Each structure stands twice: as C-alpha cells, then as structure tokens.
Amino acid sequence: MCPPHAEVVAMPVDLRSDTVTRPTAAMRDAMARAEVGDDVYQEDPTIKALEMRIAGLLGKEAALFVPSGTMGNQLAIKVHTRPGDEVIVGALSHPVLYECGAAAALSGVSLAETRGAFFSAEDVRARVQPNAYYMPRTRLVAFENTHNRGGGRVWPLGLLDEAVREARSHNLATHLDGARLWNAVAATGTTAERFAQGMDSVTVCLSKGLGAPVGSVLAGTKSLIQAARRLRKMWGGGMRQAGILAAAGLYALDHELPRLHEDHARARTFAKAVAGMPGYEIDVETVETNIVNVRWTHKADVRLALEMLRDARVLVSSLGPGQMRVVFHRDVDDAGLGRAIESFETIGKLLGMVSS
C-alpha cells in the first residue's frame, strides 16, 4: 500500500533502444540452472550448445560466443583483412558510427561508405578500388541487416543477392552484421540461413530484441572461427563459466524469438498514430520491424521535445538535428505504447503553439 500523499511516479516507457530490456524471471531461472565449465578450455557445455545452435540456424560450420556485437564485427574485420585494406560498408553502418573507430585501431583498415544504407551490385562495383599498388586493396564488403540507422529496414533479398554476387566476382569476402537479423526473420519469414547465404561471416546479437543481458555470436567456417577464437583471447574476450550467459541466449531463441512480431506491430501502430500528428513526419511504409525514425517538423528545437517527453516519462533517442528514434522491445507493452502516443500528441500540439 502507498503511504498517504506519496506521489506515484510512472515507470518510464523506455524507447531509446531494444538494448534496455531486463532479463525476465524465467530467463534468470534458466541462467541459474545452466551447466557451466571453463570456456577458455572449451569446456562449457552451454556455450557449446549455443554456438552449435546458432551455427545451425545460420547454415555455417562453426560459431563463437562473444561479449558484444562490436567484438563480433571487429573480429570478422580483423580475420578478413590486412592493415591497409579497405572495407566497403553501407552508409551510417554500425562500425562507421558506433564502434569507436575500432576497424582503424584494431585492424588498420579504412571503411569506404556507399551512398545509401542499402547498396546495389553497381554500388559495390563503383567502390572496389582499382588494382594499383598505390591504392588501398578492397578486401571485404559488410552488410547490416536490419539496418539500425536505416530505421530497422530489412535488406530486400534480390538486392542483397546481387550485391553479394558482385562482391564474390571481385574475390571480396562478405560479412553480415546481423545484430537484428532475428527481426528481419520475424518481419519477412525468410530464414536466417537464407539471409546468411553467401556470407563468409555473420554476427548475431542476443542482447537486443531477444532480451538477453549479454552476448553475440560470430559464425563462419571452422578455420575462420578458430582464428577468431585466438583473437578473442588476445583482445581480452576469453570468458570462463560464461554458460550462464549463453543459457540466456538459448532461452531467448526459444521464448523471445517467437514474440518479436509483437514489437513490430506496436512500432507500426505507433508510426501510424504519430505520422498524422502536428510536429512529426514518419514514412510509415518504411517501418518494417521494431525501429521508427521520426522527423521533427516544428521550429522549436527537437531537444526541447525530447526533454518534454522525458518529463512525461517517455524516453526516446536523438538522431541529431530534427531526428528522433523510437524503438519497441519486450519491455514495452500496449499500455506503454498508449502512453507514448499520448505524450507525442500532447507535446506536438504544445510546441506547435509556441513555435508557430
């Protein structure tokens, strides 16, 4: 019971990212019961089970449990390249924006961004450096599916296949950053294996929409994973009884993967409702998964809108001037969705009055 006069403060509706989820009681229970061993000795049965399961889902020979998606991507870049090489990546992709310049620092490579987040065979062709001794050697093409800054959109299969084929025709390696590949699978019904077809390496995350507290998995050939295992140790990522973390991943594959479509449905409901409100612009048709990019159209600074949303206990992230990002996940239910829509409406109207 509340003491008299106690103020009841609503829990925030946290829409900043799908990484903010907290493990459920059932997931924690699975973690507590996990059989473990020393994984640096390769003796943790739960980690082995997770690695085998994900390798199977992606149609690859082997897999490696790593602490983060960043480490998975960076291990892949390191294994595929030599210092001085160049990697073709989509515009605004994760290694360009959010991995602390690790590709340059750890692998000594440069990143050549294409014009768009999604790119064609022609874009790959245009980006491959000519074979001249004074130019960087293009070595790898990295794809991001779904594309985080691209509003969680899914790569169209035809476009993806053509770009992969083009990369292969230049003897380039291919890597898929599938931090949210599960969302692409849930949105399209296309299997993870199909999206991973033609990729030499794939990273998937367990700590985004799947709600695990930690963990990503890098998959590829046995020899690629052997090389990555050595590098993971070198970079301080060798873990011991981390089966308790892998158990969260296994639990998530069974119990969280099947519910991702609920996040997508809420994202779409939100987008449809807010697209018609003063102050906001959303391309509803581009909302394919759990991420909604929102353009702020009032003259008032978007930072003011974000502050007012925060005061209303609705947290969203800024994507720079005039842009917000709203992400749905397992810890946002219909009541949270309703509160978010109401707050957007109130703040859009209020700031419309002061900025007109």
Ligand X SMILES: Cc1ncc(COP(=O)(O)O)c(C=O)c1O
Number of residues in contact with ligand X under rule CB under 6 A? 13
Q: How far is CA 82 from each of CA 59, 104, 327, rounded to the nearest angstrom?
A: 26, 11, 36
Instruction: Give dist(CA 227, CA 80) in Å, integer.
Output: 10
CB of 334 to ligand X, least distance (A): 25
The CB-of-105 to ligand X minimum distance in angstroms stands at 15
User: Smallest distance, Å, CB 216 to ligand X?
Assistant: 6
The yes or no reply on residue 24 touching ligand X (CB under 6 A) is no
**Helix/strand/coil for 46:** helix
Closer to ligand X at the Cβ: 114 or 207? Answer: 207
Q: Which of 123, 177, 256, 288 binds ligand X (CB under 6 A)?
A: 177
Structural contact between residues 69 and 95, judged by C-beta atoms closer than 8 angstroms? no
Contact call for residue 245 and ligand X (CB under 6 A): no
**Rounded to the nearest 10 degrees, what angle do helices 243-255 and 45-58 cross at?**
40
Please, which residue, 84 or 156, has the CB nearer to ligand X? 156
The span from the CA of 81 to the CA of 137, in Å, is 9
Q: Looking only at residues 109 through 168 of this chain, which bind ligand X when binding is defined by CB under 6 A?
A: 144, 148
Q: Which residues contact 8 (CB under 8 A, 6 or more apart)?
A: 2
For ligand X, the closer of residues 175 and 298 by Cβ is 175
Identify which of residues 81 and 93 has a Cβ nearer to ligand X in the complex.
93
**In the complex, least distance from residue 351 CB atom to ligand X, rounded to whole angstroms:** 29
Q: How far is the CB of 324 from ligand X (least distance, A)?
A: 17
Spatial contact of 151 and 286, defined as CB atoms under 8 Å apart: yes
Q: How large is the C-alpha radius of gyration of the chain?
A: 21
Please state whether beta strands 314-315 and 13-14 pair in parallel, antiparallel, or not at all (unpaired): parallel
Question: What are the beta bridge partners of residue 317?
Answer: 325
Binding mask 43-72 for ligand X (x = CB under 6 A): -------------------------xxx--
Tokens of 61: 């020979």
- Asked if 207 touches ligand X (CB under 6 A), the answer is yes
**Cβ 77 to ligand X shortest distance, Å:** 12
| Contact residues: ligand X, CB under 6 A | 19, 68-70, 73, 94, 144, 148, 177, 179, 205, 207, 216
